[in-house]
Amino acid sequence: MATLKIKKGDTVYVLAGDDKGKTGRVLEILREKGKAIVEGVNIVSKSTKPNANAPQGGIIKKEAPINLSDLAVVDPKSGKPTRVGFRFNEELF
């Protein structure tokens, strides 16, 4: 897979889906699947059985992965979503 333009800790803007227009911080990148988990975006409800960590069990809400193509990096200066590119220095080659 090619190098990714989004990394853990980046602030991203959601371009498509039910959460279109929201921004959040990237918590995790799932490189093999081409997806990312973004804080506060794409929240799903999961039913859990009682266990040692959650004695009550019940319904918990957590972030589900979202496709990297549906995300754009937010420019820290302007606060607007932007496209990211790579520029190579010719002197190094």
Confidence of residue 22 (pLDDT cuts 50, 70, 90): very high
Domain assignment of residue 65, yes or no: yes
Percentage of the chain lying above the pLDDT 70 cut: 96
Domain count, the chain: 1
Question: Within a domain: residue 38?
Answer: yes
pLDDT of residue 89: 81
- CATH number of the domain that residue 53 is part of: 2.30.30.30
pLDDT at res. 4: 83
For residue 3, the model assigns a pLDDT of 75
Rounded to whole angstroms, the Cα distance separating 93 from 88 reads 9
In a domain, 93, yes or no: no
The C-alpha atoms of residue 69 and residue 87 are separated, in whole angstroms, by 21
Q: Could you tell me the pLDDT band of residue 2, with boundaries at 50, 70 and 90? A: low
Question: Do the domain assignments include residue 72?
Answer: yes
The answer as to whether 91 is a domain residue is no
Predicted confidence at residue 24, as pLDDT, reads 95
81 occurs within a structural domain? no
Domain annotation covers residue 5? no
37 occurs within a structural domain: yes
Predicted local distance difference test score (pLDDT) of residue 86:
81
- Tell me the residue range of the domain where 36 lies: 11-76
